[in-house]
Chains A and B, each alone.
Chain A
Amino acid sequence: MSSNTPSSSAGGVGSADSAAPRRNSKRPKYSKFTQQELPACKPILTPRWVISAFMLVSIVFIPIGVVSLFASRDVVEIIDRYETECVPENLRNNKVSFIQSDANKTCTRKLRVKKLMKQPIYVYYQLDNFYQNHRRYVKSRSDSQLKDNSSWNDVSSCKPEDMSNGQAIVPCGLIAWSLFNDTYNFSLNNQQLEVNKRGISWKSDRDSKFGNDVFPRNFQNGTLIGGKTLDPTVPLSKQEDLIVWMRTAALPTFRKLYGKIERDLQANETIHVTLENNYNTYSFNGKKKLVLSTTSWLGGKNDFLGIAYLTVGGLCFFLALSFTVVYLLKPRRLGDPSYLSWNRNPGGH
C-alpha cells in the first residue's frame, strides 16, 4: 500500500541512477501535498459571517416565498368528490356490489366556477388510498414489451397478469390491467366542452417508452376484468391514458392528468359533468375526486412551498436579529486568549 511508496519509488530511482547515494534515496520527496502544506482557505466563523449568512438567507427566501405564494394563489382549483354521490342512494350500503354489477353507472355532477379560469384548464382524477406504489404492483410491468413489438412475449416480470388463455398479454402486468376507467364529459350551457387528451403524458414516454408499433393484444381477456380496455387498433404510444397511468404515483393519494379543456371558464359558470363511475375504489374505501385546475409557472396550487419559504426566511431573519443582539450584549473578542481552556478553569484538568 502507500506505506511503501517511498521505498518502492526509491528503488526505481536507484536503479535508474545508481550514482546517487543509496542513503538519500529513501528521503521523501518534498511536495506541498505530501507535507500537508497545500494552500488552504481556513474560514473563520465570525459574528459578521453568522449574521450576514442568516440575513442573506432571509433576504433570498422571503421574496421567493412571497412570489410562490402569489403564484399559488393565482391557481384556481375545483375539486369534486364523487365516489359516494355517484352511487344511487339505495345501493350505498353495498357499494362494492354496485360497482361490480352491470348497472348503469352514469352520474351527473354540477361544478360551479368560482373564479375566472384561464385556459388551459387541466382535468385530473384523484384517487385516495390506492397503493400504486406497492412493490408488487410497481414491479408488475414489462418495459421492453411496451417499447418494442418484437419483445411482446417478454412478460416474465408481469406476474400474476402475464398470460391469459395461454397467450402473452400486451400490455401485461397489474398496472396496465388496473387502468383507471372512469370517464368524464363536460358541458357548459348544454354545449359540449372539448377535453383534449393529447399531450397529457410525458413526451419522452410517448416517443421512446411506448412503441408506435405495439398494439394491445389479448388485453382484459381473462376471467377477471381489471380496469379499462384498450382499443387494439391504436398503438400504445397513442394511448395516453395508459401512459399516464403507467407512471406510478409515489404516494397512495395521487392525481393523474385526464385531459385539458382549452377554453377559459368564467366565474360563476356552471359545468355539467357526465361521468361514468366504473372504477372500483369502494372495496378499499378509496375516494375519487374530479379536479379542474389551472397552473402557474410553479405548477399547481401549492401554498405550502411559499409558506415554507417564508417560514425559513423568517426564522433566519429572527436568528440574524437574535445573534446581533447576543453579539452586542455579550461580545466575544475574536481570538481572545482568555477563552482558552487553560485560562478559563485554572487548576482544572
Chain B
Amino acid sequence: MPKGRIRAKLRKSHLYTFCIYPGDVGKEGWSLGGPGFSRIVYCNEPQVHSQIPLKYRSNDISTTKYNFITFLPKALYEQFHRVANLYFLGCAIASLTPLSPFSAMSMIAPLTFVVGLSMAKEALEDWRRFMQDMEVNGRKVKVHTGEGAFGKKAWQDVQVGDVVRVEKDQFFPADLLLLSSNFEDGICYVETMNLDGETNLKAKRALEVTLDFDEDEDFKIFKGMIKCEDPNPSLYTFVGNFEYDGQVYALEPSQILLRDSKLRNTEFVYGIVIFTGHDSKVMQNSTNSPSKRSKIERKMDCIIYVLFSVLLVISLISSFGFAVEIKYSMPEWWFMRPQNPDNYYNPGKPVLSGLSHMVTALMLYGYLIPISLYVSIEVVKVLQASFINQDIQMYDEESGNTAQARTSNLNEELGQVDTILSDKTGTLTCNQMDFLTCSIAGTAYGSGSSDVELAAAQQMANDLEDKIELDTVVSSNSEKDHKSSIKGFNFEDTRLTNGNWLKEPKVERIMLFFRILAVCHTAIPELNKETGSYTYEAESPDEGAFLVAAREFGFEFFQRTQSSVFVREKYTASGKPVDREYKILNVLEFTSKRKRMTVIVRDEEGLILLMCKGADSIIFDRLSNDGRLYQQDTTRHLNGYGEAGLRTLALAYRKLEESEYSAWNTEFQKAKTSIGDDRDIQLEKAAEMMERDLFLIGATAVEDKLQKGVPKCIDKLAQAGLKLWVLTGDKMETAINIGYACSLLRQGMKQICIMANDADTKEEVKSDILKQINNGSQIIKEEKDPHAAFALIIDGKTLVYALEDDMKDHFLELGVRCASVICCRVSPKQKALVTRLVKQGTGKTILGIGDGANDVGMIQEADIGVGISGVEGMQAVMASDFSIAQFRFLERLLVVHGHWCYKRIAKMICYFFYKNIAFGLTLFYFEAFTGFSGQSVYDDWYMLLFNVVLTSLPVIALGVLEQDVSSQVCLEFPAIYQQGPRNLFFDWYRILAWMGNGLLASLIIFFLNIIIFYDQAFRADGQTSDMTALGTTMFTCIICSLNIQIALTTSHFTWIQHATIWGSIVAWYLFLSIYGALSPNISGNAYQILVEALAPAPIYWTTTLLVTMACSLPYMVLIAYQRCFKPLDHHILREIKYFRKDVEDQCMWTRERSKARQKTMIGFTARVDAKVRQVQRKGHKKQ
C-alpha cells in the first residue's frame, strides 16, 4: 500500500481556510424517518438489506426499453401507435373477409414487412443499449466480504450497506458515504465531469469519526447506521444522519460520493453504499431519451392526414355511389341476379351495402397512403446513416472513432438546423491549457500571435478584391499548434527558455515571477517514474500549465509536505541546481467570488512573502502606488491577450514584515476558529486586510486549447447561416475568452452582459434583469451600422430568472437578435431549459452538441443531439442522435450530409406522394365506371408489385444517392445550406405542386387509355380489349410515366440510378411475360397477355408512348421555365461546375465565395473583415 507514503505528509485542513467544514446540525424543515426521508442503511450489514422492508433496488442498471418478454407487446404497441400502421392493420384484418377487393396476401405481406423491419431495428438498438448496460454492470469493485477481507465483485452485485474500497481513477459504483481515504484527514478528490461537466476536481471530506477506518482489517468490527433521504435527483443536496457508537452525526453533500464520478489524486477511499442502481442520484437524473422525429417526418404525417381525408372523401363518394346504384340500378340489372342478394349487394338494404362497401373502398384506395413510403424511408435512412458512418473525412485518426448516426431517423433534420447550442469544455476546447505568453515587468515575452492577427495581416497585404484563402492560414496555424511536445506548454521565446532569462535586464523580477508560478498553487506533484519528470495534479488545468511552465523555465516544484513547498531551481547564479523550501504559512484559496489566490510563505532566508495571482481587475485594485510601476504596459499586453482569446491572470507579491504578519495572523486565526454564520465574512475581511499594497510583477496568458479545426468549423457554420450559442458551466471570464478564441466575440462587437445584482428581494432582481434585457434590445434596435454585431453574455444565476415564464420571451428575443450568445455557469438543467426555450420559442431546428454527462439534458432536449465521442464518458454519446469524434466534423455532417439528406428525403417523399396519387386515383376513376362496385382494373399482382418492386428501387436510389452539388461545392459554398432551414424543398407549395402533378398524371393516364381502348378493336384481328388488356396497358403507362418522371427529377445519375430506373421498366415487361407464361390457374385473365395480345398490337406501344410523354410534359415545361427565370443557387453552381467556369475563371469563383458569406456576423472571416474595415477606417481618418 502506498498510503503510508503520502499519508503523513498532508493534513491540508490545517492550511485551507475556505474549506467546507461539517456544518452544524440543526437544519429545520425536514425530519428523518418522515416522508421523503425514510431510508435506513445498516453499514457493513448488507445481509439486512436482502429482505423487505429494507430491501432496496439492486445495483444493476438497465437503460433498455424492452426485455425479452415485453419486447413483442411493447414494440407492437409502438408500431401500431402510428396512425398509418393502424390503418393498414385494419385493412389486413378486413382483407380476410369477402369485403376485400384484393387477396388477403397482398394486404398482409407488406404490413408484415414494414412492421417487422421497424421492429428489427428497434430490437437491434435496444440490444446495443443492453450490451452497454452489461459492460457497466460487469465492472469490478472491491467489496468487504467479511472479517476484514475485501474481494472483487461486479457492480451489479453491490448492495446497500456494503463497504467498498474504490481506488484511484475508478468510478464509484453507487452513491457512497465517504468513510476515509488514504489521506489522514479523510479528504479525497473527485472528478464530476460526468455529472456536471466541470473538470476541476472537487474535494470531499469524511466525517472525523470515521477517519480511522482506513485499513481493510478495520472493517471487521465496523457497524453503524445511516438514516437519510429517499432517492432523488438533486445532485447537490443530501440530508441524513450517521449513527455510530451511540452518537449521531449529521451528513452533508461533501461526504457523499456520487456514482459516475471518478476518484482522482487519491489512492483509495472506503465508502458505504447508500443508493444503488436506479436509486443513485445520477440515474435519478437520467431521463428516458425521447424519441425524436424530424420536421419533415412530422410534416409528412400532416400530408398523410390530408391524404387520409382525401381517401375518406373518395371512399364516401364511392360508397354513396354504390348505395345509390344498388338501390336504383341493381334491381334492373337482371344479369346480376338481384333476386339472390347477399349482404354486400342487397338492393333492399342499400345502407348496409353502402357501409360494407365503405370498408372495401378504404382498402381499395389505400394506395393513396403509401405503406411502402415508411419502408422506403426507413431503408433510405439506414443507408444514408451508413454513409455518414463510413465517411472517411469524418474519421478521427487520433481516437480511431468514426462518425456514428446512432438513430437514423434524423438525417434530414441535419439539413435544417438553424441554431447550434454548444457545450464548451471538451467540445470546443480540449480542456487542456497551454502556457502561451507572459508579460513580466512590462515586457512581453512569447511569440504566440493569434490566428486572427496573422490572417488579418496577410489579408491586408493582399488586394482586397481577391481575398486570400483563410483556410490555409488557419490550418497551417493549427498544425503548428500541434507541434508543441510538452503538454501544457507552448511557449516560444529564446529570451526566457533554456535559462536565457538570466541575461535579461530585469532578472530579479523575472525570477520572482517564476517563483510565484512555482509556489502559489495547491497542486500535488507526482513523479513519473518512466520519464523521471514530475507531473502535477492540479485542481484546475491552468494551474497545471503554470507549474509546467515554471518547470520548463527551471523552477521545478517537486515536493509538497504538510507545511512546505519544495522547488528545485535549475538555473542559478552559481550554475548548480538548488532546492529551496518555502514554508507555507497561509493559503487563501481561489473562489469564484474572490477571483484570486494568495499564499503567504516564509523562504529560507526567513523573509515572509505574500504571493498572489488573480484576475487583473482584482489585482489592479489592490496595488500599492509603487506597485503600479508596470501597470500600464501590463494592461496593454493583457488587452492583447484577451483579444486573442487567452486566459489571463495577473501576478503580484508583497513583502511582509514579521510583526505585521504575526499581528494579522492572530486576527486571522481568530476568524478561522470563530463559529457561526459570519465566519466566512470574517475570514474574508481578514484576507482583504492582507491582500493589499501589492506589487504587480506581470501577467500570464494561458491558451485554453481549442480542439483542432474549431475556429474554421465555426467560421463555415456561420457562413452557412447557423447561429451558435455557447452554454458552458465555466466562469464568465473563461467563456468570454473562448468566445474570442472561437471568433464568436471580437473587438468592436457590442457585448450585452446581463447579470443579476445582489439585490435583496427576488422582485428587485427580476425587474433589474428585465431592465437590462430591454436596454439590450433597445441598443440593438437603434444601431445604424449594418456591420454592427452584438453578443449576449449571461450567467447561470441570471438565467434562473431569465428563464422564468414572464421573462423568457424577452430574453429569447434578445438572444435571437444577437450574433452570438454565451451562457456561462449554467447547470445541466439550465442547458436543457435554454434548449427548450430556443426550440419552442423560435420553432426552428436546434442542434445540441456536447461531450459530457452534463450535456445529456441539452442533447436530449434539442431536435438533434450530437455527442462528441472519444473523450471520457459515454453518457453524451449514449444520449445523442449522432456522435462525432471532433467538433470540426460537425461542418461536414451538417453542410454536406445534412444538406444532401434533407434534399434527398424531401424529393423522395414528394415523389412518393406523386406516384401513389397518380396510381391510386386511377383506381377511383375506374370505380365510377363499374357502378362503384369496388372492382379494380388491375390484377392483384400488379398492385402488389407496384410499390414493392416496380417503383420502389428508383426512389430509394434517389433517396440514397441524389446529390444536387458535390460535397466540395457544399463546403465551398456553405450558403446553400440555407436551402434547408428555409425549407425550400418541402414547403406546401412544392408538396401541393407534386400532388397536382400526380392528379394530372392520373387523369391523363386514365382517360387517354379508356378513350383509346373502350370499344374499338385494339388489334388487327378484330378483338376488342377486355378489362385485363386495358388494365395492363394502363399499368404499363403508369410504370413508364412514373419512372420517366423520376428520371427527370434525378439530377445525379450513377450507374445505380440508371440500373434502377430503366431496370424497373424492364422488370415490368419481364414480370408480365413471366406471369403470362404461368398456368392460367395463377395468372387468370393475364395469361399470355403480353406475348399474345398486347405486344403484337401497335396500339399498345403507341398508347404507352403517348401517355408517358403527355404525363411528363407538364413537369418538363415547369422545370424549363424555372431554369430560365428562377434558377436556384444549386442550379447555377451546377452549371458553373459543368462548364468548368470555376477553373477557367477562378477570380469569379473566389469572388462568389466571399460574397456568399458577406452576411456572416461571427466567425473567423467576419472577424477578419471587421479588422480590415477598422484599419481602413483608420486609414481614411488619417488622410
Q: A interface vs B, CB < 8 Å?
A: 1-6, 22-24, 26-30, 34-36, 38-45, 47, 50, 53-54, 57, 61, 64, 68, 120, 122, 124, 126, 130-131, 133-138, 143-144, 147, 159-161, 174, 177-178, 199-204, 208-209, 224, 226-227, 244, 247-257, 260, 280, 283-285, 293, 295-302, 304-305, 308-309, 312, 315-316, 319, 323, 326-327, 330, 332, 334-337, 339-343, 347, 349
Q: Is the CB of B1030 within 8 A of A250?
A: yes
Q: Is the CB of A305 within 8 A of B1022?
A: no
Q: Is the CB of B933 within 8 A of A28?
A: no
Task: Out of B390, B404, B1156, name the residue touching A342 (CB < 8 Å).
Answer: B1156
Q: Is the CB of B386 within 8 A of A5?
A: yes
Q: Is the CB of A137 within 8 A of B1014?
A: no
The CA-CA distance from A178 to B23 in the complex, in Å, is 102
Most interface-central of A136, A159, A252 (chain B CB within 10 A): A136
Task: Out of A35, A208, A251, name the residue touching B1080 (CB < 8 Å).
Answer: A208
> Assuming the A-B contacts A36-B961, A304-B1011, are A42 and B1051 also in contact, with contact meaning beta carbons closer than 8 angstroms in the complex?
yes
Contacts of A43 in B (CB 8 A): 1051, 1053
Task: Out of A42, A68, A226, name the residue touching B1102 (CB < 8 Å).
Answer: A68
Task: Out of B121, B937, B1116, name the residue touching A1 (CB < 8 Å).
Answer: B121
The CA-CA distance from A64 to B963 in the complex, in Å, is 38
List 18 A-B pairs, Cβ < 8 Å. A1-B408, A3-B405, A29-B390, A34-B386, A42-B1053, A42-B1137, A44-B1134, A44-B1135, A45-B1119, A53-B1116, A135-B101, A160-B340, A174-B335, A202-B1088, A247-B1027, A285-B332, A334-B1139, A349-B1159
The CA-CA distance from A42 to B935 in the complex, in Å, is 43
> Assuming the A-B contacts A130-B335, A136-B345, are A50 and B1120 also in contact, with contact meaning beta carbons closer than 8 angstroms in the complex?
yes
Question: Chain B: interface secondary structure?
Answer: helix
Q: Is the CB of A34 within 8 A of B929?
A: no
Q: Is the CB of B1014 within 8 A of A250?
A: yes
Find the B residue at minimum CB distance from A28. Answer: B390
Given contacts A247-B1085, A251-B1030, 15 further A-B contacts (CB under 8 A): A1-B408, A3-B382, A3-B405, A6-B390, A35-B393, A135-B101, A160-B342, A199-B1021, A202-B1023, A208-B1088, A296-B1020, A305-B1099, A309-B1102, A341-B975, A343-B1155
Find the A residue at minimum CB distance from B394. Answer: A28
Q: Is the CB of A340 within 8 A of B1132?
A: yes
Contact indicator per residue, chain B 568-579, by CB within 8 Å of chain A (1) or not (0):
000000000000
B1028 to chain A, nearest CB (A): 8
B799 to chain A, nearest CB (A): 30
B845 to chain A, nearest CB (A): 17
Most interface-central of B334, B1088, B1103, B1134 (chain A CB within 10 A): B334
A334 to chain B, nearest CB (A): 5
Residues 783-827 (chain B) with a chain A CB within 8 angstroms: 786
> Assuming the A-B contacts A28-B395, A296-B1020, are A3 and B386 also in contact, with contact meaning beta carbons closer than 8 angstroms in the complex?
yes
The CA-CA distance from A248 to B1027 in the complex, in Å, is 6
The CA-CA distance from A307 to B893 in the complex, in Å, is 54
Q: Is the CB of B1132 within 8 A of A335?
A: yes
Q: Which 8 A-B pairs have the closest CB atoms?
A: A300-B1016, A160-B340, A2-B386, A335-B1135, A178-B335, A122-B1022, A247-B1026, A300-B1017
A226 to chain B, nearest CB (A): 7
The CA-CA distance from A249 to B1102 in the complex, in Å, is 21
Find the B residue at minimum CB distance from A302. Answer: B1016
The CA-CA distance from A137 to B1152 in the complex, in Å, is 69
**Interface band, chain B:** 35 or more
Contact indicator per residue, chain B 466-505, by CB within 8 Å of chain A (1) or not (0):
0000000000000000000000000000000000000000
Q: Is the CB of A45 within 8 A of B1120?
A: yes
Q: Is the CB of B1132 within 8 A of A337?
A: yes
Q: Is the CB of A1 within 8 A of B1124?
A: no
Contacts of A50 in B (CB 8 A): 1116, 1120, 1123
Contacts of A126 in B (CB 8 A): 1015
Q: Does B306 contact A (CB under 8 A)?
A: no
Q: Is the CB of A340 within 8 A of B1152?
A: yes
Contacts of A201 in B (CB 8 A): 1023
Find the B residue at minimum CB distance from A161. Answer: B337
Q: Does B336 contact A (CB under 8 A)?
A: yes
> Assuming the A-B contacts A120-B1022, A250-B1030, are A28 and B392 also in contact, with contact meaning beta carbons closer than 8 angstroms in the complex?
yes
B472 to chain A, nearest CB (A): 23
The CA-CA distance from A61 to B1102 in the complex, in Å, is 10
B1037 to chain A, nearest CB (A): 13
Q: Is the CB of B392 within 8 A of A30?
A: yes
B1056 to chain A, nearest CB (A): 7
The CA-CA distance from A10 to B5 in the complex, in Å, is 46
Contacts of B1030 in A (CB 8 A): 250-251
B1050 to chain A, nearest CB (A): 9
Contacts of B943 in A (CB 8 A): none
Residues 526-569 (chain B) with a chain A CB within 8 angstroms: none
Contacts of B900 in A (CB 8 A): 36
Q: Is the CB of A256 within 8 A of B1024?
A: yes
Find the A residue at minimum CB distance from B1149. Answer: A337
Q: Is the CB of B1129 within 8 A of A341?
A: yes
Find the B residue at minimum CB distance from A136. Answer: B345
Q: B interface vs A, CB < 8 Å?
A: 101, 121, 124, 128, 329, 332-337, 339-340, 342, 344-345, 382-383, 385-387, 389-393, 395, 397, 400-402, 404-406, 408, 786, 900, 926, 929-931, 933-935, 937, 961, 963, 967, 975, 978, 982, 1008, 1010-1031, 1051-1056, 1080-1081, 1084-1085, 1087-1088, 1092-1093, 1097-1099, 1102-1103, 1105-1106, 1109-1110, 1113, 1116-1117, 1119-1120, 1123-1125, 1127-1129, 1132-1139, 1141, 1148, 1151-1152, 1155-1156, 1158-1159
B844 to chain A, nearest CB (A): 14
The CA-CA distance from A64 to B1098 in the complex, in Å, is 11
Task: Out of A42, A133, A293, A327, name the residue touching B930 (CB < 8 Å).
Answer: A133
Contacts of B389 in A (CB 8 A): 2-3, 5-6, 28
B559 to chain A, nearest CB (A): 37
Find the B residue at minimum CB distance from A280. Answer: B334
Q: Is the CB of A143 within 8 A of B405?
A: no
Contacts of A256 in B (CB 8 A): 1024
Q: Is the CB of A312 within 8 A of B1110?
A: yes
The CA-CA distance from A308 to B329 in the complex, in Å, is 34
Q: Is the CB of B400 within 8 A of A299?
A: no
Contacts of B1117 in A (CB 8 A): 319
Q: Is the CB of B337 within 8 A of A160?
A: yes
The CA-CA distance from A248 to B406 in the complex, in Å, is 55
Q: Is the CB of A131 within 8 A of B930?
A: yes
Task: Out of B1019, B1022, B1137, name the residue touching A200 (CB < 8 Å).
Answer: B1022
Task: Out of A42, A124, A159, A283, name the residue touching B342 (CB < 8 Å).
Answer: A159
Q: Is the CB of A40 within 8 A of B1116?
A: no
Find the A residue at minimum CB distance from B326. Answer: A136
Q: Is the CB of A42 within 8 A of B1027?
A: no
B335 to chain A, nearest CB (A): 4
The CA-CA distance from A54 to B1119 in the complex, in Å, is 13
Contacts of B383 in A (CB 8 A): 2
> Assuming the A-B contacts A2-B385, A342-B1155, are A255 and B400 also in contact, with contact meaning beta carbons closer than 8 angstroms in the complex?
no
Q: Is the CB of B400 within 8 A of A40?
A: no
Task: Out of B395, B1023, B1109, B1134, name the residue touching A27 (CB < 8 Å).
Answer: B395
Q: Is the CB of A147 within 8 A of B1023?
A: no
Find the A residue at minimum CB distance from B1100. Answer: A299
The CA-CA distance from A159 to B339 in the complex, in Å, is 12
> Assuming the A-B contacts A43-B1053, A248-B1026, are A134 and B1099 also in contact, with contact meaning beta carbons closer than 8 angstroms in the complex?
no
The CA-CA distance from A142 to B37 in the complex, in Å, is 79
Contacts of B1136 in A (CB 8 A): 335, 337
> Assuming the A-B contacts A2-B385, A133-B935, are A202 and B1106 also in contact, with contact meaning beta carbons closer than 8 angstroms in the complex?
no
> Assuming the A-B contacts A160-B337, A200-B1023, A295-B1017, are A251 and B386 also in contact, with contact meaning beta carbons closer than 8 angstroms in the complex?
no
Task: Out of B1054, B1119, B1159, name the residue touching A40 (CB < 8 Å).
Answer: B1054
Contacts of A244 in B (CB 8 A): 1023
Most interface-central of A42, A50, A298 (chain B CB within 10 A): A42
Contacts of A64 in B (CB 8 A): 1102, 1105
